[in-house]
A and B are shown apart, each in its own frame.
Chain A
Amino acid sequence: MFISASTSKFKQLSSMAAFFVLTAGMQSSFAFGLDEVYSPNAEFGEISLEISHARSFDKNAAKDGAQVGEVTLEAGLTPRFVVAVSGEYSADPGNAMQLDAHQIEGRYQFFESGEQWMDVGALVAYSFSKQADTPDTLEVKLLLQKDVGKFTHTANIGFSQNVGTFPNLTDEAGYTFLWSTRYRYNEYFQPGFEIQSDLGPGAQLGYLNQQEHYMGPSVQGKLFGHLKYQAAYLFGVSDPAAQQAVRLNLEYEMHF
């Protein structure tokens, strides 16, 4: 789930909803959101506890120190289906952390890994807002992955829709695009790069400088046989984005 924080007049922002609302209606506002780039492949029989966190860095105090995060419990219930429940939190620059939403998410893998030219899956997530002035959100993502030699390329194309009617919030769907390329050097160390783009609502799709784009180096791997990690240091490459951002993700795997 794309999670966010902002400095707008909406002090309590849930993840996707606020992200797209702000980029749609308040172009000058900063809306921070980074997300994990999901593989379409499910891991049957695995249960995992996952913590993700991201923070912005900028000379402008209004963009510096925004934080978003998520604590997730997920389980591979079948060889093709993973379900996850999570709590999402955020902090606007200078403000304390707050719980934004509870979320339930399902991911489905359409084919066996490598069976087709490209691995394909889908993610559907529903976020129950915990803040009075923000709506629930529904998010759908297409998950794509392709191995080329020792490189793995992963893309997520998502859209999000507010659920319910709230004053000053858009009913228009918002779009995201995430990309990750990693070199599978070994199990422990897989460097690469990552792109995170919040494209905003449909009317904004043609205006790159009204969207938030980040790109930069990343690394991931698996340590001690059970602990997966991801880290990315991203640079904002459009005006609405922060100058830099860091994203960290830790996942402890168990089997049932």
Chain B
Amino acid sequence: MLLGGAAYAEDYLLTIKNHQFTPKELVIPAGQRAKIIVRNQDATPAEFESSDLNREKVVGANGEITLFVGPLDAGRYGFFDDFHRETTTGVIIAK
């Protein structure tokens, strides 16, 4: 339903610090929607990006964003910081 109530498993937190995601592997339940807070503790902006999840969103310096993902099939879904794509990567694991 388009405006149906949001039923999320729980809120999850991803932190960016020193251009690293913590945790690097975030486990969420498969088959459910999840709300993920991405908090950037660096003094420079980052961009959470994932073609697996179809998400692309800038996180300001010392800022945070909210992502809604799923329901996801069981599997691994890669993501990265588009401003530091070689070093700042992570994986969401749905199971």
Interfacial residues, chain A to chain B (CB-CB below 8 A):
43-46, 79, 112-118, 120, 147, 149-150, 152, 184, 186-187, 190, 222, 225, 255
B65: chain A residues at CB < 8 Å are 79
Rounded to whole angstroms, the CA-CA distance of A63 and B20 in the bound complex is: 55
Q: Are A117 and B85 touching (Cβ within 8 A)?
A: no
Q: Which of B30-68 contact A (CB under 8 A)?
A: 33, 45, 47, 51-52, 54-58, 60, 65-68
A152: chain B residues at CB < 8 Å are 54
**Nearest A residue to B83, CB-CB:** A255
Rounded to whole Å, the gap between the CB of B79 and the closest CB of chain A is: 11
Interface SS majority for chain A: loop
Rounded to whole Å, the gap between the CB of B45 and the closest CB of chain A is: 7
Q: Are A114 and B60 touching (Cβ within 8 A)?
A: no
Q: Are A43 and B54 touching (Cβ within 8 A)?
A: no
Q: Given contacts A45-B60, A186-B51, A255-B47, are A115 and B82 in contact (CB under 8 A)?
A: no
B73: chain A residues at CB < 8 Å are 149
A-B pairs with beta carbons under 8 Å apart, 29 shown: A43-B56, A43-B57, A44-B57, A45-B60, A46-B58, A79-B57, A112-B68, A113-B54, A113-B55, A113-B57, A114-B33, A114-B55, A114-B69, A114-B70, A115-B6, A117-B2, A117-B4, A118-B2, A120-B2, A149-B73, A150-B52, A184-B51, A186-B51, A187-B51, A190-B51, A225-B82, A255-B45, A255-B47, A255-B83
A150: chain B residues at CB < 8 Å are 52
- The count of A-to-B residue pairs whose CB atoms sit within 8 angstroms is 54
Q: Are A225 and B58 touching (Cβ within 8 A)?
A: no
**Nearest B residue to A76, CB-CB:** B58
Q: Are B51 and A112 touching (Cβ within 8 A)?
A: no
Q: Are B1 and A117 touching (Cβ within 8 A)?
A: yes
Q: Given contacts A44-B58, A114-B33, are A225 and B85 in contact (CB under 8 A)?
A: yes
A255: chain B residues at CB < 8 Å are 45, 47, 58, 83
Choice from A43, A116, A184 contacting B52 with Cβ under 8 Å = A184
Rounded to whole angstroms, the CA-CA distance of A117 and B3 in the bound complex is: 7
- Interface hub of A44, A113, A114 (most chain B Cβ within 10 A): A114
B51: chain A residues at CB < 8 Å are 184, 186-187, 190, 222
Rounded to whole angstroms, the CA-CA distance of A147 and B2 in the bound complex is: 13
Beta-carbon contacts of B1-41 to A below 8 Å, as 1s and 0s? Answer: 11110100000000000000000000000000100000000
Rounded to whole angstroms, the CA-CA distance of A116 and B45 in the bound complex is: 27
Q: Are B3 and A43 touching (Cβ within 8 A)?
A: no
Q: Given contacts A149-B73, A184-B51, are A113 and B58 in contact (CB under 8 A)?
A: no
